[in-house]
Amino acid sequence: MYADEAPSERRLSAESIDSLPEEEAKGYRTDIANFVGNIINPKNVDPDNTADQKFRGYITTENLKEVPGNVLRRLVKYSGLVLEQCNGSDDFTPASSLLNSAFRLFQQEVAPNGRVTQTFMYAGLRDQQIWQSTRFWNAAVFIALQQERSAQASALTGTENDLELERELFDGLAFSQLSKFAWRIYSLGVNKEACLDFLRRQAEDATLSKGTLI
């Protein structure tokens, strides 16, 4: 039902950091730390640094992505530090990017009996205080809707038919985004009543019918 739900099958993870030579593993961990730092200070990004680009790609990817377990754990650790800073400074744009990644990055384990278990990044970030902030969720929804609308509007020509299509399209985008965010809020440990209250308030702001969201 939700885009954030994991598919039933994924290929096995690449080799873990611990299995790499010591110097290579050390460089890998450094790249992760640098990548998180670049989220906070994007002006410091070196476009020629391929390692940083690889890890920044984890944050901007539009698809689910499997990563080694050790990589996921370190991403959780460093992302937690970033989220704490974002919460303290009300800087919600980097936090929104990390939120998206938290529901896309996962590790996969296969038991001897063949049972597949997928653990997503958000599972290690549930205790972050920022998820309890209504201001963050309002900002995250706004950012997501603006990005979606900007992408869709570029395909319209401005004719009368397009204006009607635009209204229908934007209503659909709002409903899709709000449904996704309600699922994310609940998955991060916010109680059901708060999720529904947030959804109704956002629906009113987006001029959607509350009856279609319950």
| pLDDT tens-place string over residues 25-38 | 566 556 555 555 55
Confidence of residue 202 (pLDDT cuts 50, 70, 90): confident
Task: Give 62 or 161, the one with higher predicted confidence.
Answer: 161
Is the same domain home to 45 and 63? yes
DSSP state of 117: E
Predicted confidence at residue 38, as pLDDT, reads 53
* Residue ending a domain, choose from 96, 127, 158: 127
Higher-pLDDT residue of 203, 73? 73
- What is the DSSP secondary-structure string of 60-106? H-SS-EE--HHHHHHHHHHHHHHHHHHHHHT-HHHHHHHHHHHTTEE
Task: Please indicate, yes or no, if residue 113 is contained in any of the structural domains.
Answer: yes
Cβ neighbour number for residue 208 with a 10 Å cutoff: 18
Residues 79 and 36 in one domain: yes
CA distances from 174 to 103, 148, 163 (A): 19, 9, 16
Lowest mean pLDDT among 12-16, 99-103, 117-121: 12-16
Q: Give 134's pLDDT tier (boundaries 50, 70, 90).
A: confident
Q: How far apart are CA 130 and CA 124, in angstroms?
A: 14
Residues 42 and 119 placed together within one structural domain of the fold:
yes
Identity of residue 187: S
- How many folded domains does the chain comprise? 2
Same-domain pairing of 29 and 111: yes
The answer on 148 and 109 residing in a single domain is: no
126 — phi, psi (to 5°)? Answer: -65, -30
Same domain for 147 and 121, yes or no, is no
Mean pLDDT calculated for residue range 33-47? 51
- Residue where a domain terminates, one of 64, 99, 127: 127
| Mean pLDDT, the chain, whole residue set | 71
Expressed as residue numbers, the domain containing 167 is 134-213
Whether the predicted pLDDT of 151 surpasses 50: yes
Tokens 């303290």 appear where?
88
- CB-based burial, 116-154: b 16+ in 10 Å, e otherwise: eebbbbbebbeebebbebeebbebbbebbbeebbeeeee
Q: Which residue among 70, 93, 127 closes a domain?
A: 127
pLDDT over 90 at 88, yes or no: yes
SS3 120: strand
Q: Do 145 and 86 have their domain in common? A: no
Neighbouring residues of 25: CB distance < 8 A, sequence distance ≥ 6: 17, 18
Give the mean pLDDT of 115-135.
Answer: 92
Looking at the structure, do residues 198 and 141 belong to the same domain, yes or no? yes
Separation between Cα atoms, residue 160 and residue 144, nearest integer Å: 26
pLDDT higher than 80, residue 170: no
Query: Is 176 inside a domain boundary?
Result: yes
